[in-house]
């Protein structure tokens, strides 16, 4: 290869990377390319090379990353509570807007706006803490529905020595208020990040019906396709356009999203089972459901007759507040996540 | 599609303030780049997945200390590179071996044609020296300017320019992208 070709192609490579090239070098390269087909081809090949796909991460890798990271966040939160026990008393006096109160499920937690996976991972950590530090009403493995498990919220308190200790106050009722859920096509979403800019250029989906945090009548609100293609949707609200992330859990490496049978048309309402499933009358799920295996968090799943578990499963009420189901007092139903 | 999703700096700022949704956005936006670099470093998917997870955990733990000293992608590339090197040094993983056959194809233009067209991008990547490959990744995967890539790699920007160019020449030759003197 001629030295002029090497110099020209090096210049072309730098220009391709939007690096500064002197006018003189640019002119030399331009003049050379006018006479050299090989260098013109090289310029075209830079574009072709960019178009070749790099190795793509497995589709669930980001989910797994978030599970791991969220576990750490929950661990940090637990530690924070352990040294600041008085803060646990402030939750009931929380006067912040409801849109900022999604952090409730890990108690006093600076990590606001967790996605569903965050809650899932938090459950792993908190359950582990309980197992190692206090006699808990449930094991770290498969969760067996029981009267004790009906309210497995965890609190941390200081003993007389000032050391922190975990306890499982079975008497603690589930939160009366659900997170700031809304539903789109019966699937449940929780608030994510606010987005900058307008949604005018986005692709409209259907509508969600919600009053947000308001007490008035719910109204249809146009939802938009998320730029993240991760199952989230964009919904313009009182504080701007916000991503709403699917409330989801992982089973057999697949994300399953919470499906509501009732109208979750304002913040704070708990999703209920779809109407086709009668509410079980027994803690073992009967007569509607049959106990199946644990999900990624070791939480007991239940199958419905005629529905393969890959297509949906139920979760009993009374999961920890850190579970994706939250402390939902109702049975919940989960189906494979669909990208809207 | 939304064109004005908050940029990395804003997402980092929000994530550092406790917004897990913002952190998740960062993860989803950049995991492919992290994974691709690790995959090319180790040459196998399980190692790349382990590295990717470790990278994000380190990023998460260091968010508050990150500030805005550098572009997020520069920092992310630095963390990714260090994680891969640490995994290699600890003996937990081995690096992708360089394929001498492909190197021969690049070194000699007369034989390059024999190798050309017979390999895919990732096979061709293995023919690159580790130095050229990571410079190429810094620019092509993470979008770093030469100066930023150089600061991470510990070399001048001009060296990054040379390495990236060398990598591109080798890749276009091996992948038979080069028209090789067409008019």
Tell me the average pLDDT across A33-42. 90
Judge if pTM exceeds 0.80: no
Residues with Cβ within 8 Å of A246's Cβ and at least 6 positions away in sequence, in order, are: A115, A116, A187, A188, A189, A231, A232, A255, A257, A258, A337
Consecutive H or E run containing B62: helix B45-66
> Given a cut of 60, is residue A201 above it in pLDDT?
no
Q: Which long-range contacts (CB under 8 A, 24 or more apart) does A159-164 make?
A: A164/A81, A164/A82, A164/A83, A164/A85
**Where is pLDDT greater, at B110 or A192?**
A192
| Residues B25/A119, Cβ–Cβ less than 8 Å | no
Contacts of B4 in chain A (CB under 8 A): 195-198
Q: Retrieve residue A219's tokens.
A: 């109204």
* % chain B with pLDDT above 90: 48
Q: Which of B8, B11, B23, B24 would you mutate first to test chain A, the one with the most A CBs within 10 A? A: B24
Of B19, B34, B36, which has the smallest distance from its Cβ to A113's Cβ?
A: B19
Is A62 in Cβ contact with B27 (below 8 Å)? yes
Average pLDDT rounded to a whole number, residues B13-31: 88
Q: Hey, is A149 helix, strand or coil?
A: helix
Residue given tokens 């060296």 in the structure block: B159
Q: How far is A154 from chain B (nearest CA, A)?
A: 22
More confident: B18 or B53: B53
Task: Give residue B108's pLDDT band: very low, low, confident or very high (50, 70, 90).
Answer: very low
- A332-336 and A254-259 beta bridge pairing: antiparallel
List the structure tokens of A185: 């096509």
Which residues in A lie closer than 8 A to residue B20 (C-beta atoms)? 70, 73, 111-115, 118
Q: Is the pLDDT of residue A13 over 80?
A: yes
Length of chain B: 183
Least confident range from A46-55, A78-87, B43-52, B75-84: namely A78-87
> Domain B8-89 falls in which CATH fold?
Rna Polymerase Sigma Factor; Chain: A (1.10.1740)
| Max CA pair span of chain B | 58
Mean pLDDT, range A63-87, rounded to an integer:
65
What's the gap in Å between the CA of A238 and the closest CA on chain B? 18
Listed range (A6-10, A231-235, A275-279, A305-309) with the worst mean pLDDT: A231-235
- Taking the C-alpha atoms of residue A120 and residue A29, their distance in angstroms, rounded to an integer, is 56
Average pLDDT over residues A51-79: 81
Comparing A157 with A232, which gets the higher pLDDT? Answer: A232
More confident residue, B161 or A91: B161
B24 at the A interface (CB within 8 A)? yes
B162 touches chain A (CB under 8 A): yes
Nearest by CB: B18 against A65, A66, A112: A112
| Average pLDDT, integer, range B101-105 | 44
Q: Which of A195, A198, A226 sits opposite B6 (nearest CB)?
A: A195
Report, as an integer, the average pLDDT of A73-92: 47
Q: Which two tokens stand for residue A7?
A: 């110099």
Burial of residue A216 (number of CB atoms within 10 Å: 0-12, 13-18, 19+): exposed
Task: Show residues of chain A in contact with B180, CB under 8 Å.
Answer: 38, 41
Distance from CA of B183 to the nearest CA of A (A): 5
- CA separation for the pair A280, A275 (Å, rounded): 12
Confidence of residue B35 (pLDDT cuts 50, 70, 90): very high
> Across the interface, do A52 and B61 touch by the CB < 8 Å criterion?
no
How far away is chain B from the Cα of A152, in angstroms, using its nearest Cα?
A: 24
Q: In chain B, positions 80-139, which contact chain A (CB-CB < 8 Å)?
A: 109, 121-122, 139
Give the closest-approach CA distance of B153 to chain A in angstroms.
Answer: 17
DSSP state at residue B3: S
Residue A156 clears pLDDT 60, i.e. is over it: no
Put simply, whether B3 touches A (Cβ < 8 Å) is yes
Place A315 in a pLDDT band, splitting at 50, 70 and 90: very high
| Residues, chain A | 340
Sorted by where each begins, the domain ranges of chain B are 8-89, 100-174
Residue A4 distance to chain B (closest CA, Å): 14
d(C-alpha A75, C-alpha A87), whole Å: 16
Query: How many residue pairs from chains A and B have C-beta atoms closer than 8 A?
Result: 186
The predicted model gives A304-323 an average pLDDT of: 88
Nearest-angstrom CA–CA distance, A98 and A84: 23
Residue ranges of alpha helices (H) inside chain A are 3-16, 23-35, 37-51, 61-83, 116-133
The Cα–Cα gap between B70 and B75 comes to 7
- Domain B100-174 in this protein, CATH class: mainly alpha
Six token digits for residue A226: 């998320």
In the predicted structure, residue A3 carries a pLDDT above the cut 90: no
Residues A169, A98 contacting (CB under 8 angstroms): no
Mean pLDDT, chain A, rounded, equals 71
Check for a shared fold between B8-89 and B100-174: no
Place of tokens 């997170």: A179
Asked whether the beta carbons of B4 and A175 are under 8 A apart, the reply is no
Q: In whole angstroms, give the CA distance from residue B105 to residue A170.
A: 70
Q: Write down the pLDDT at residue B74.
A: 94
Whether complex ipTM tops 0.90: no
Tokens 């994680």 appear where?
B83
């Amino acid at each position: 290869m001629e030295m002029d070709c090497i110099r020209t192609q090096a210049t072309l490579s730098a220009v391709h990377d939007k690096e500064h090239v002197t006018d003189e070098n640019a002119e030399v390269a331009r003049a050379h390319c006018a006479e050299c087909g090989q260098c013109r081809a090289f310029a075209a090949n830079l574009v072709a090379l960019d178009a070749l796909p790099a190795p793509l991460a497995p589709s669930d890798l980001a989910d797994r990353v978030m599970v791991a990271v969220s576990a750490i966040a929950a661990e940090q939160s637990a530690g924070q509570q352990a040294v600041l026990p008085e803060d646990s008393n402030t939750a009931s006096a929380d006067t912040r807007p409801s849109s900022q109160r999604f952090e409730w499920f890990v108690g006093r937690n600076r990590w606001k706006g967790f996605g569903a996976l965050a809650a899932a991972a938090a459950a792993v950590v908190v359950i582990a803490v309980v197992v190692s530090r206090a006699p808990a009403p449930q094991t770290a493995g498969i969760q067996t529905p029981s009267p004790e498990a009906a309210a497995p919220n965890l609190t941390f308190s200081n003993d007389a020595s000032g050391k922190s200790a975990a306890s499982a106050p079975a008497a603690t009722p589930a939160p009366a208020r659900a997170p700031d859920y809304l539903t789109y096509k019966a699937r449940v979403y929780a608030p994510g990040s606010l987005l900058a800019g307008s949604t005018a250029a986005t692709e409209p989906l259907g509508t969600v019906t919600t009053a947000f945090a308001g007490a008035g009548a719910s109204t249809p609100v146009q939802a938009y396709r998320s730029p993240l293609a991760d199952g989230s949707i964009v919904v313009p609200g009182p504080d701007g356009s916000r991503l709403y992330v699917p409330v989801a859990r992982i089973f057999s490496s697949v994300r399953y999203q919470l499906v509501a049978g009732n109208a979750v048309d304002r913040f704070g309402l708990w999703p209920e089972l779809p109407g086709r499933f009668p509410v079980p009358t027994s803690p073992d799920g009967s007569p509607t459901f049959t106990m199946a295996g644990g999900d990624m968090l070791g939480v007991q799943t239940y199958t419905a007759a005629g529905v393969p578990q890959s297509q949906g499963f139920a979760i009993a009420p009374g999961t920890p507040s850190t579970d994706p189901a939250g402390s939902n007092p109702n049975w919940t139903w989960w189906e494979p996540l669909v990208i809207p | 599609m939304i064109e004005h999703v908050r940029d990395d700096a804003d997402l980092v700022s929000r994530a550092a303030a406790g917004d897990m949704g913002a952190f998740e956005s960062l993860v989803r936006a950049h995991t492919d780049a992290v994974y691709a670099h690790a995959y090319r470093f180790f040459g196998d998917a399980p190692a790349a997945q382990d590295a990717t997870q470790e990278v994000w955990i380190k990023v998460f733990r260091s968010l508050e200390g990150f500030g805005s000293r550098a572009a997020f992608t520069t920092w992310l590339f630095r963390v990714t590179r260090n994680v891969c090197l640490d995994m290699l040094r600890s003996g937990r993983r081995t690096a992708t071996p360089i394929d001498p056959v492909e190197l021969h194809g690049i070194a000699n233009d007369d034989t390059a044609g024999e190798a050309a067209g017979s390999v895919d991008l990732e096979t061709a990547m293995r023919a690159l020296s580790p130095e050229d490959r990571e410079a190429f990744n810094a620019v092509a995967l993470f979008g770093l300017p030469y100066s930023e890539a150089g600061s991470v790699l510990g070399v001048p920007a001009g060296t990054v320019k040379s390495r990236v160019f060398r990598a591109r020449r080798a890749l276009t030759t091996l992948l038979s992208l080069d028209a090789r003197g067409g008019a």
